Structures are given as C-alpha cells and as structure tokens.
Amino acid sequence: MSTGEDGTGLAFEDRLNNFPNMSVEVYQIIAIDNYVWVHVKFKNFYSNNVADLGVAGVDIFKFNEEGKITDH
C-alpha cells in the first residue's frame, strides 16, 4: 500500500478508473495552526449513477513544521 502523495494520487486514479463520472466539489477550507478542514461533496464516488446526489464529507489534515501532512 502506497502512502503520502503517491498513495493519495493512486487512490484517486483507481477511483476514477472505476467511476469515471466522479467529481469532488470543495465548499470551504478552514486552516487554524497546523490543522486544515476541507468541506467537500463527492459525486459518483461509489457508483456511476447519473442521478447521484453526492455525499458530503470533511477531510481533516494535520501538518508538521515542514508543511507535510502528518495525519488525515
């Protein structure tokens, strides 16, 4: 299993191969200290249904002093 940037990229590439209509809509990004919250809506993340209304989510990231993600 890949981690870091490579792992994230491979995970989304795999998802797009299986669900070519997938999209991610970013609504808001909030950053405080070393934390970043990203409010998103994923469409066709689990299916290729054209009527998919999507699912809302929040990604929470913690960054170290070098600007690298340490937690997700």
* Residues 51-71 pLDDT 10s: 999 999 999 999 999 988 898
Which amino acid type is present at position 70?
A: T
Specify whether the CB–CB gap between 30 and 59 falls below 8 A: no
Residue 15 binned pLDDT confidence (cut-offs 50, 70, 90): confident
Helix (H) or strand (E) holding 70: strand 69-71
d(CA 70, CA 14): 23
